[in-house]
Structure 1
């Protein structure tokens, strides 16, 4: 018996020695050498090491908003890939974040990911989910992954690592999304959310159970032991709960991050310009087409929405799209003719917004000596028109858009950094690029998706920025963009929010419906200016309520978790 006991002790000691050896391997992270355009922050490095060494790759990353959970997630993906511990990685996130995740994995971690935005996932999902290079990293929208057409295909693949961004969307264990994630049985699982508790402590139980089944016992036992009767927000036995959560959760706070993440102030100003008669005529022509075509139901909604968004950008953008729609006979000649005529007329006069842009560009040094400006537009035709105007004024500038190769983009960014005062950029071109050496941002046109506005700001107002950031949003009076800015600025104070908070507020207010889709529906259905105004007031009320709820959730989570779970 003594020999048997000795043998058992030897095995236990050998296993412990092996565990410690593995832990030591993570003292030096391989992913750090691959980081690009990412400031190395101690708390993020310590978080990654803790997840690798202590949590065995299954963790709830619940940093406060703006502290870089996405960077921590990307570092962990990179580390597991570099060590050969993961060959298949699935990132699940809201649809609006798919492009951002893919772009940042490429630009910051040199990881080329696939995404469910690719047409093949809709045309032939069976082949799309089954195929793919190795190692495979796939960014999938939660909405698609949990749909009846795709869920079984997701389950059919073996995923070594699953990362869920905005994991609070899976807080209810009775939902399809929760059940899908629970069925994947991946070796490693990362849940990212700044608000792990929104309605009651049971949501926290559900998230922890995905990571480590049984960690908090059964639902009934958890409620009995850790939740005050009659108050689902109030925890009992806080010290024991803290110990159990500490085995699966990291929540870094701004107090911990301290000086490493302090940002200079940013100031935002909406610049409303009076449209010219030609611009007014164009906007009314496009709006008339949207309403009439919407009534007939024969025109693709996406084409109509694109035209209305372009009408808030430039006549050149409208003209390009209108010509394509007419040439491809997606619209009847009699329907598109008024838009074509109005667009041609509007291109013959200087856009009022262009005049304001030129004023801002010529006054750059009034903000601070050596100021650099990034002018964002959604459309290539608008960018080209702006470039022509800047050339005519003798203003040197860089251009940056999605049609450029990687080296070409790098060259234009370097020109802005060292040589020219202005860069014109499209949203697609700017994805994943950090431009914190610039300090003036001009929204020449406005994305209808508020998270896209936030992403633009985040290109400049981020760690590494040393100067005050000025944000100017240009819009024509009476346009959809003016109404959107009014709603976002007046009701949820968009430009005062920490990067990342917009999604939390919109997710609460709109659930499955995207903000931009709601805006277009207003213009499809409303027939008078009064009706449009009433619909926007209703949308503003929803956002205001959601902002209030978010502030309550934020305060509750801060009080519940305090600084007990920092790396």
Structure 2
């Protein structure tokens, strides 16, 4: 075990990018090291710390914290600390204690390992250099973070992810309609932020029923391992904070919101990002906030990044929607009344954007018509840039290309500066397109006598029956819609005949199963008891076995039921769900939906349909509704169909319509005389609201939520990485070196399995276990849940690259070369230098200046052969050398090797200024443009936060300093000895 003393200087073997560290304190068990240049602190086990002591030898040149340099001649140890002795730049004798070494000092492990005779295999050296080149290329690809996830390349999802993940501490509401992939958007944003270092810790809060689904989704699609917390697991941590058990924590909302102690622990978690699913369930009114909303508000205030997910942002009304936006930006959304007023102005902006389509080619219009269009657009423009674009667009002498460019720019400016998409992204099926149609199939059935009796009793004794119905937890007036529940609740005799024996819906359902053949069918009913008793009835009456899915099951039991239904070969044909089955679960592999009864609220109706009507659904959706004639259910069906076209497509106004006419509807369900009037009034308001949406806010949101050109660029960058021919070649070499067996099992599939020689544990591979199947094909991976997709972002690939770049593996080698044109006995040294730019992770400096390789090949005279002899060309002709003679040769040539390494450093240094200049140019070109855009946008759109602009200014300054201070360090060195070609 190493002996640690405060003040000693060490570097991390696995995280060399942290820079030079200083031991802060130590005891018999741990050692704590501060890495000042990267603003990081690490605590390690004293017995197994992955640290290397920094110790320089004679001839080495080192820098002090004050900036002067020392050429080392000797050293001594004082109280466990090294004091270096030598001469400074002026030839004056000086001493430099290690405590005063510059924090930015580099430690050339390759040089020291080589000079002490430590050499690795040639193929390790080759792989290290290739890894460095690939890493440099991939880190600068704009698709970084998006190419690895196992997803379809869908434009609106990738546009939103790219737009949001590019912001400083993004705070947005993801509000796509049900089935358009909000979870995937959130996963993409999280994955990108993690890979770029902008996020290290994230808290994900989801409804209890969706925790396991999120867990599986993040693992299967994004290869992200999260810690799922509940009370039992939290108690296992004793007095420790369970929210510090991992970097990514997933927890149930219901559990956290009900426990103030756990809330306080979560608040102490120091998160970078908070994700809240189903955010419309958070309760807030102008008079006060519910415990759930208050908890999220406290977490949101303490967390830089915030993603709120909801498919129905205005489900609980405009006030509730305002409350979500207030969580995102309390300063921006202070006044509910101001928000109402702002919303009314969106129609003008949407109209102006539509009018832009009419302006190119003004010669085809009358001057008066063109002037009117210009005036209406100009009414929402208040800056010189936009007015100039409008003038170009309307000028008859402008060329067609000029007009098109002006139209595109002006449209973008209107969306940017006046649209609402800065904090909210909402796509609809209408805007995205490509969704299958829905078809409603209604089957009228006769009311059986027992149901007629309970309806009659309800009509005659509403007050007294109400008390009896509340006891089993059934609410009036909903109870009148669920006749089986009424029959169950009002049964006088506990041995009364079960409803499924006389209910014609059961017989109808059995006939429907036969009619659809082998196709799958999802049944949703309102009550849990209905689900259980229907499953029992099908089993008893026809021997049909069906899994059930309801709120009384544990998460694991629900998952098993869903999996039993989803299995395409051995799964059940039928799944019976309670209302909980319409929340969050995805059954798009099924196209038949049976509504065994109808929910009273339009949003619940849409949630039911949304389980099937999702991205990935390839068939027309068949919605089957068995309904009793002259019943409340039949009247409700009429209101849904005739009042709002509820079964045709999502429209987002159902909640408002129910709020306006819900009371009148309930009366009409009992007394049909007023039903026609309720339907007529509902229809009138429905059409008004749709027209307003098309003209105003929703139109702007749709235009802003996916900009096709930008989305196309992201997809093109992803496909470039998907089709990269270098990946299979690289992975084949890496797997061989790391000791992983790869077997082609056909169908574009590989099976990866650890061999007995595997070097340490690797993601998904543990010695003695079977490994996993994988493919490079995105389509093949999407077709099978059990197949992983190999990419540059796959954890296995990233881990192997990280070990190569972060450790010493392959940073030295010795090889022989036989070539007829080169005499034997000559020496060449191949140096691989690497840019070193220590900076806080959050700056993501590698997008502009990733670790960049500079290769210098010198012969024994010091002549630079780099341009004449390529790396690949040389590597093909090299031979192996055993370690013992390799060490002897290095020992005998130490002086010469030192001189050549010094010479190589001078040669490499000549290339550094151009590397820095190119990186600064890339950085300023991108960030200055973004900063100018944000500042211009802030004068028109209050959704641009002041701290966002300030953060970007600080980021630009920090990046500029970090890039300017970039240095080169020797990353790897290979000695090459020529042999006589005729020997």
Larger radius of gyration: 2
Is 1:159 aligned to residue 303 of structure 2? yes
Separation in structure 2 between the aligned mates of residue 430 and residue 172 of structure 1, nearest angstrom: 25
1:200 aligns with 2:345: yes
Question: What are the residue-to-residue correspondences of 1:66-85 with 2, within 5 Å?
Answer: 67-69=180-182, 71-77=184-190, 79-80=192-193, 85=199
1:297-321 Cα distance to aligned partner (Å, 9 max, x none): x98699452x654553452x3455x
| In the alignment, structure 1 residue 549 sits paired with structure 2 residue 717 | no
Aligned to 1:312: 481
Name the structure with the higher helix share. Answer: 1
Aligned position for 1:484: 636
Question: 1:22–1:557: structure 2 CA closer, same or farther, 3 Å change rule?
Answer: same
Residue equivalent to 2:329: 182
TM superposition score normalised by structure 2:
0.40
Equivalent in 45, 68, 77 of residue 158 of structure 2 = 45
Quote the Cα distance in structure 2 between the aligned partners of 1:292 and 1:466. 50
Does the CA contact (< 8 Å) of 1:252 and 1:565 recur in 2?
Answer: no
Task: Give the Cα separation in 2 of the matches to 1:277 and 1:342.
Answer: 19
| RMSD, aligned α-carbons | 5.1
- Residue in structure 1 matched with residue 575 of structure 2 by the alignment: 423
Q: Structure 1 residues 481, 22: closer, same or farther in 2, change over 3 A?
A: farther
Partner in structure 1 of residue 217 of structure 2: 108
Q: Distance in 2 between matches of 1:445 and 1:46?
A: 39
**Relative to structure 1, is the Cα distance of residues 342 and 23 closer, same or farther in structure 2, using a 3 angstrom cutoff?**
same
Give the Cα separation in 2 of the matches to 1:154 and 1:409. Answer: 32
Residue pair 2:276, 2:307 contacting (<8 A) in 1 also: no
Cα displacement (A) at 1:387: 2.0
**Which sits farther off after the overlay, 339-348 or 401-410?**
339-348
Query: How far apart are 1:360 and its partner, in Å?
Result: 1.5
Q: Secondary structure at the match of 1:395?
A: coil
The aligned residue for residue 960 of structure 2 is: none
Distance in 2 between residues matched to 1:534 and 1:253, nearest whole Å = 30
Q: Deviations over 1:267-324 (max 9, x none)?
A: 1122221201211112333455544566x9x98699452x654553452x3455x3xx
Deviation at 1:351, TM superposition (A): 0.4
Cα shift readout 1:110-152 (whole Å, capped 9, x = no counterpart)? 6765566x3874x77x657545485665444475245524466
Deviation at 1:377, TM superposition (A): 1.6
Structure 1 CA distance for aligned equivalents of residues 284 and 348 of structure 2: 21
Matches within 5 A, 1:243-258: 243=413, 245-246=415-416
Secondary structure of the 1:460 match is coil
Change (3 A) 1:162 1:89: farther
Alpha-carbon spacing, 1:318–1:544, altered in 2? closer, same or farther (3 Å): same
TM-score by length of 1: 0.65
Counterparts of 1:457 and 1:172 in 2: how far apart (Å)? 26
Question: How big is the shift at 1:406?
Answer: 4.6
Could you tell me how far apart the structure 1 residues matched to 2:710 and 2:449 are?
Answer: 58
Of stretches 416-425 and 550-559 in structure 1, the one that deviates more from structure 2 is 550-559
Q: Hey, what's the Cα distance between the residues in 2 that align with 1:549 and 1:99?
A: 36
Query: Which residue of structure 1 aligns with residue 434 of structure 2?
Result: 262
Instruction: Look up the SS of the partner of 2:647 in the other structure.
Output: helix
Answer yes or no: is the 8 Å Cα contact 2:431–2:702 preserved in 1: no
Question: Is 1:379–1:426's contact at 8 Å kept on the other side of the alignment?
Answer: yes
Deviation at 1:413, TM superposition (A): 1.9
Q: Give 1:533 deviation, angstroms.
A: 5.9
1:12-411 aligned at under 5 Å gives the runs 24=140, 27-29=143-145, 33=149, 39-41=152-154, 43-53=156-166, 57=170, 67-69=180-182, 71-77=184-190, 79-80=192-193, 85=199, 87=201, 105-106=214-215, 108-109=217-218, 114=251, 118=254, 121=257, 129-132=263-266, 137-139=275-277, 140-141=279-280, 144-145=283-284, 148-150=288-290, 154-157=296-299, 158-164=302-308, 165=310, 179=326, 181-183=328-330, 199-201=344-346, 237=386, 239=409, 242-243=412-413, 245-246=415-416, 262-286=434-458, 288=460, 290-292=462-464, 303-305=473-475, 309=478, 311-315=480-484, 317-318=485-486, 322=489, 340=492, 344=496, 347=499, 349-365=501-517, 370-391=518-539, 392-402=541-551, 403=553, 405-411=557-563
Q: Deviations over 1:142-201 (max 9, x none)?
A: 752455244665544312322344667999999666555433799xxxxxxxxxx96323
Aligned counterpart, 1:192: none
Q: Tell me the secondary structure at the aligned position of residue 361 of structure 1.
A: helix
TM-aligned CA distance change 1:50 to 1:538, over 3 Å: closer
Q: Please say if residues 523 and 577 of structure 2, whose CA atoms lie closer than 8 Å, have aligned partners that are also in contact.
A: yes
- CA shift, 1:376, in A, is 1.7
The answer for unaligned runs of 5 or more in structure 1 is: 1-19, 92-96, 187-196, 206-226, 323-337
Report deviation, 1:67: 4.3
**Contiguous gaps of at least 5 residues in structure 2:** 1-135, 220-225, 229-249, 334-341, 351-372, 391-408, 712-983
Partner residue, 1:445: 597
Give, in whole Å, the separation in 1 of the partners of 2:630 and 2:320.
45
Q: Alpha-carbon deviation of 1:472?
A: 0.6
3-state DSSP class of the match of 2:435? coil
Distance 1:419 1:64, change over 3 A: closer
Deviations 1:78-127 (A, max 9, x none): 55478671645588xxxxx97898786456336765566x3874x77x65
Relative to structure 1, the CA distance from residue 542 to residue 233 in structure 2 (aligned partners, 3 Å threshold; closer, same or farther) is: farther
- Tell me how far apart the structure 1 counterparts of residues 166 and 682 of structure 2 sit (CA, whole Å): 46
Determine if contact 1:443/1:474 at 8 Å carries over to the other structure.
Answer: yes
Contact 1:199 1:233 (C-alpha < 8 Å) held by counterparts: no
Going from structure 1 to structure 2, the CA distance change for 1:103 and 1:176 (only over 3 Å counts) comes to same
Whole-angstrom CA distance in 2 between matches of 1:228 and 1:99: 53
Partner of 2:98 in structure 1?
none
Separation in 2, partners of 1:203, 1:176: 25
Q: 1: CA distance between counterparts of 2:176 and 2:289?
A: 34
The structure with the greater share of residues assigned to strand is 2
